[in-house]
Structure 1
Amino acid sequence: MAKTIYEFKVKDADGNEVSLGEKYKGKVVIVVNVASQCGLTNSNYTQLKEILDKYQERGLAVAAFPCNQFGGQVRAVLVLPQEPACEIDIMSFVKTKFSMEPDLFSKVNVNGNEADPLWKWLKKEQGGTLTDAIKWNFTKFLVNRNGEVINRYGPTTEPKSFIKDIEKALDEPAKL
């Protein structure tokens, strides 16, 4: 059983395998499942960008994993997918609309038998309310400089609301 995110490899938006240990060792990371057509998209991306701009030089990173697993939201009379685009289009959307370039990874499933191993582990490390399942897009996990999950925030928890947790994690030295 993994003890840190450093033990995982994932695919980036270009399909290349990335070692999270090589990429994030010694950094504080917000791991988040994202969607471009979700009611929470604007507030989350806007706040994640502000936080990243302020704290990136101190060692903060945002690892964004697109997810289209939630079946869509009802808009008027249509049910639309939340993340129908390919990774290139997603990156373009985030860069154009929010002037942000998070570390974007390949689309993943976060629940069920096909859930990505990283997301299965994240849910075991920090369970949810009532159930460990990810309930919606923009569930956020805060990872310390040692690669350990220190907190989980629900989809409606705005990123700015846990700045004190981020600052505390940034102030703690890595014990690597």
Structure 2
Amino acid sequence: MVGRMNDEPGISAPNVYQFKVIDTEGNVVHMRKYKGEVLMIVNVATRSGFTDLNFKQLRELQKIYEDRKFKVLVFPSDQLGNQEPKSAREVLEWAREREYEFDIFDKIDVNGPNTPLLWRYLKKCKRGMAGDFIKWNYTKFIVDRNGQPVGRYGPAVPPSKLAKTLEDIFER
């Protein structure tokens, strides 16, 4: 499977564009597809107490900044609290029913040996307060137009609170 430690040379990379991920259809997606865009990469779970607020505010941010090349990339995970029993395709359908137009990828483990290389890289570049592991659902990474992770925000930080950070990145 793409993105596991034994399939790739490692997590030392100049930017996120070196990595591949799997979409909800099982296709390999090269992250270089997003070159030149500002990204917010989020691990999600539809049964989390953070779901409604995060999805709504992520949608608002994406609409506000779509003309400035901003994308939200969503990675479902059932690893934290078993709050995502749906398959990735079911999460995609759930999101579409609610008019969330994010790029949604295959379910992942955000911690441990099966963590995709992109997520290992993000956690290495932007460690959390307690280390490089993901503590809970709705951890948000912001990646600038050069593919550099420039921020990591915990689940308690609502996406709307990141608008100023995004504005600063767009002004660079």
Do both proteins adopt the same fold according to a TM-score greater than 0.5, normalized to the shorter chain? Answer: yes
Aligned residue in 1 for 2:148: 148
Answer whether contact 1:91 1:101 (CA < 8 A) is retained: no
Q: How big is the shift at 1:122?
A: 0.4
- CA RMSD in angstroms, aligned pairs only: 0.9
What 5-or-longer segments of structure 1 have no aligned partner?
73-80
1:24: Cα distance to partner? Answer: 0.6
2:3 equivalent in structure 1: none
Q: Which residue of 1 aligns with 2:73?
A: 63
Query: Equivalent residues in 2 for 1:9-28 (5 A)?
Result: 9-21=20-32, 23-28=33-38
Q: Any unmatched runs of 5+ in structure 2?
A: 1-11
Match of 1:75 in 2: none
The equivalent residue for 2:88 is 87
TM-score under structure 2 normalisation?
0.91
Name the SS for the 1:156 alignment partner.
coil
Q: Distance in 2 between matches of 1:90 and 1:133?
A: 23
Query: 1:59, 1:170 within 8 Å by CA — same for their partners in 2?
Result: no
Deviation digits for residues 126-160 of structure 1, max 9, x if unmatched? 00002221000100000000000000000111001
The residue number in structure 1 matching 2:17 is 6
* Cα deviation digits, residues 46-73 of structure 1 (max 9, x gap): 1000000110111000010011101x3x
Report the number of matched residues: 161
Which structure 1 residue ranges, 4+ long, deviate > 4 Å from structure 2?
Answer: none
The one-letter amino acid of 2:41's match is V
Percent identity over the alignment is: 41
Q: How does 1:6-155 map to 2 (within 5 A)?
A: 6-21=17-32, 23-70=33-80, 72=81, 81-97=82-98, 99-155=99-155
SS at match of 2:118: helix
